[in-house]
Amino acid sequence: MGTIPNRRCPSGIELCYNPAMDSEAKERAQRRKLRASQWPVRRFDLGHEPLRDPLDRSTVDERIAMMWPLAKEAWSVAGKPIVDYERKDMPGALVQRQR
């Protein structure tokens, strides 16, 4: 164990550090690096991203159908009833951007 030169705690105790890593730290780091290298990551230049995820084989109808069970679960978890009103009565605001 080494000490940090000219550094003391208010109590007068020298601040110490332990430069030695445990014996398995490098091996764990190498295993993490190997696992990370196998992640399914795709890189695209900014502005050249695909419009749709090429790994997603679902249709628009299937994706919309997946949304309803998620929405019901979210309302349930929030402890609130699912609102029921006409589209014309939905709360919202039209915001126009400044150009």
Q: What is the pLDDT of residues 20-69, one digit of tens each?
A: 667 788 888 899 999 998 988 878 888 887 777 766 788 888 888 999 99
> Would the pTM count as exceeding 0.85?
no
Measured CA to CA, the distance from residue 14 to residue 8 in angstroms comes to 5
- Work out how many domains the chain is built from and give that number: 1
Q: How many CB atoms lie within 10 A of CB 75?
A: 13
Q: How far apart are CA 60 and CA 53, in angstroms?
A: 12
Q: How confident is the model at residue 75 (pLDDT cuts 50, 70, 90)?
A: very high
| Residue span of the structural domain in which 69 resides | 57-82
Dist. CA 7–CA 23, nearest whole Å: 28
- Point out the least confidently predicted range of 15-19, 56-60, 91-95: 15-19
Domain annotation covers residue 23: no
Residue 70 covered by a domain: yes
Supply the pLDDT for residue 1.
47
The answer to whether position 3 is within a domain reads no
Is residue 63 in some structural domain? yes
How many residues would you count in the chain?
A: 99
